[in-house]
Amino acid sequence: GTVRLSKIIGLQEALKIILPGGAVNAKKAKKIGLVDKVIPSFESFPGQHTFWRGVTAFAKSKLWGKPTRVYTRPNKTWGDYFLNSTSIGNWMVGREAARGLDKMAKGRYPGPYFALDSTINAVSASHLDAEKLEAKYFGKLGGSSQSKALISLFKMMEGSKKFQEKCGGEGISPKKVGIVGAGVMGSQIAVLCAKKGLKVYIRDIKQQFVDKGVGLVASTFNAQVAKKRMSQEKANSKIALVTGGTGVEGFRDCDLIIEAAVELMPLKKKIFKELEKVTKPECVLATNTSSLSITELASVLENPSRCVGIHFFNPVGKMPLVEVIRCPSTSHDMVATGYRFALKLGKVPVICNDCPGFVVNRILGIYMGEAVKLAMEGCKLPFVDDALLEFGMPMGPFRLMDEVGLDVAAHVAPVLENGLGERYKSDPRYAELIKSNPQFLGKKTGAGFYKYNAKGKQGPLNSVFVRKLNNLVTSNSNASKKAIKDRCVMVMLNEACMILEENMVNCPEDLDLAMVMGTGFAPFTGGLLSYADFRGIPSIVKRMEWLEKRCGTRFKPHKTLVKMAKDGTRFFPDRPDPKKVRQIPIKECPRSKL
């Protein structure tokens, strides 16, 4: 805990573990003095009991010999002594740690601030007084809305691992995976599969494309070797799992095949027809499409029950969410296999029914559309981005569009409009602006709304593109940050209610999990619907009615919200009553300068 750890390993090392809530491996734990001995568990033959024998020998040495444990870590240098054992040194460590927290947590997560204060206090206070302060802080944090939301989020993540309950079938855990398309997405999926020990066959129309994709896999693992995160022997074994070619023979013994070709329905239909002929009947035929209809794609198969959507988010290695999409014809076992595959890769899967944009892109589409409306009304782009960053989003909507690609967002927009209606309609002048400026498509071209350097780091506004956008502005908006936050969040909430009404997800928990894992939606709120509960449904409805009068019918509160406000119900009635918990504001967080 915050009281004992700094006394054992020193203040600096203790804060490196406590503040991020991280873990250390056995080798590191031994090096910093956190553990006395590291005992290997590897056995050369069954019954060797290496770990048990090692533990027994170590325990005997402590019981029968002279204990050697040092409970106060010796300072290795005068610098260590100054920082760990003097009041001014402790103050300096605390100041720098608080600055780091202000930058990382931005005041949204009070826990690290209280942990920091408790840890530094424990260095100089008596053990009893230090434990009293620790207990006081723990009690305050435990009753906060942030704590309740994060606990609920943890439970949702744990619940997502119970595939039998989620899928209604058993399926299998795939041993060999096929990938159609050796581009960036296909190659990244192949890397994930190889990491988990799955055999992979990649197919593309030209051998040079295949070689490039397989080469990307090899370079990824070799980079791990260069960083000393993996041995060359292990890297070679992972690389050997991935093969490729232009033929379909490698697909014959696959348990699951993912199509990751370009977003053209005729091409995908052709691929699926071909795959059905050469694969075993129990092989799952999956598509990684982000917007096209799974139902339409399944219609070309003689056995449409095999068709599943498995939607990875970019970048594949970093984004934890995978949407597993079923259409009316998809069998429970095929869904279960796709779900188990996502779990095997260490992802957080969420099942949703087939609809335009599925869950995440459908809600993100309305969110980004509202941000564009704000820009067209004259709001400054950085001001809008800053407002949503303050709310708790990982990046502002315009920064997000740069990340996704302005062309990709423009391609998905009409799909959502055609399938879901006028609320997704975008200004044709904006669409033409994107189309006529192919050099400004976002991060991938080095510039979009913002400029990016060769390493992809965000720079200043792209004044050339923003000037063209400003030429389309017809008014001079004076919207406050509060109004910007509410406009962008309220349209998302209305859309979420429609998704629930249409039974696109199994339960509200799945929608919130998808939003947090797929968009980074303010985790300290527990998700979009959880946020609505904590803010208060009646308050939400009142605010939306106000926005409806000023901004249009898209803010008319969904009938679900109106009924909930009238009945006094919530999305999550089994969770603690929001009226009985409170959010800890940043001004109450010790040591913060925000």
Report how far residue 225's alpha carbon sits from residue 45's, in angstroms, rounded to the nearest whole number: 29
Instruction: Answer for the pair 262, 287: CB distance below 8 angstroms, yes or no.
Output: no
Q: Tell me, what's the pLDDT at 71?
A: 46
Q: Tell me, what's the pLDDT at 498?
A: 97
User: What are the extents of the domains in the chain?
Assistant: 5-150, 169-356, 361-578
Q: Tell me, what's the pLDDT at 60?
A: 77
List 202's β-bridge partners, or say none. 179, 244
Between the two ends of the chain, the Cα-to-Cα distance in Å is 26
Q: Tell me, what's the pLDDT at 74?
A: 55
Q: Tell me, what's the pLDDT at 70?
A: 46
Residue 565 CA: distances (Å) to CA of 159, 344, 559, 574: 28, 41, 10, 17
Handedness of CA 145, 147, 148, 153 (dihedral sign): positive
Phi, psi of 61 (to 5 degrees): -65, -30
Q: Tell me, what's the pLDDT at 453?
A: 94
CATH topology of domain 169-356: Rossmann fold (3.40.50)
Q: Tell me, what's the pLDDT at 241?
A: 98
Q: Tell me, what's the pLDDT at 23?
A: 85
Report how far residue 184's alpha carbon sits from residue 288's, in angstroms, rounded to the nearest whole number: 12
Say which residue the tokens 């006028």 belong to.
Answer: 422
> Nearest CA to 248 among 225, 231, 213, 273?
273
Residues marked as catalytic: 290, 311, 323, 361
Query: Could you list the mean pLDDT of each consecutive 10-residue stretch along the chain, which spans 594 residues?
Result: 87 89 86 85 73 82 58 62 81 88 84 92 90 94 92 95 87 96 96 97 97 96 94 96 96 97 94 96 96 94 97 93 97 96 97 96 96 94 96 95 92 89 89 93 95 94 94 87 97 98 96 97 96 97 97 96 97 91 87 73
Instruction: Answer for the pair 229, 260: CB distance below 8 angstroms, yes or no.
Output: no
Q: Tell me, what's the pLDDT at 594?
A: 63
Q: Tell me, what's the pLDDT at 359?
A: 97
273-327, pLDDT tens digit by residue? 999 999 999 999 999 998 899 999 999 999 999 999 999 998 899 999 999 999 9
What single-letter DSSP state applies at residue 527? S
Report how far residue 467's alpha carbon sits from residue 473's, in angstroms, rounded to the nearest whole number: 10
**Domain with residues 5-150, CATH architecture:** Alpha-Beta Complex (3.90)
Instruction: Answer for the pair 149, 509: CB distance below 8 angstroms, yes or no.
Output: no
Range 361-578 classified under CATH 3.40.50.720: no
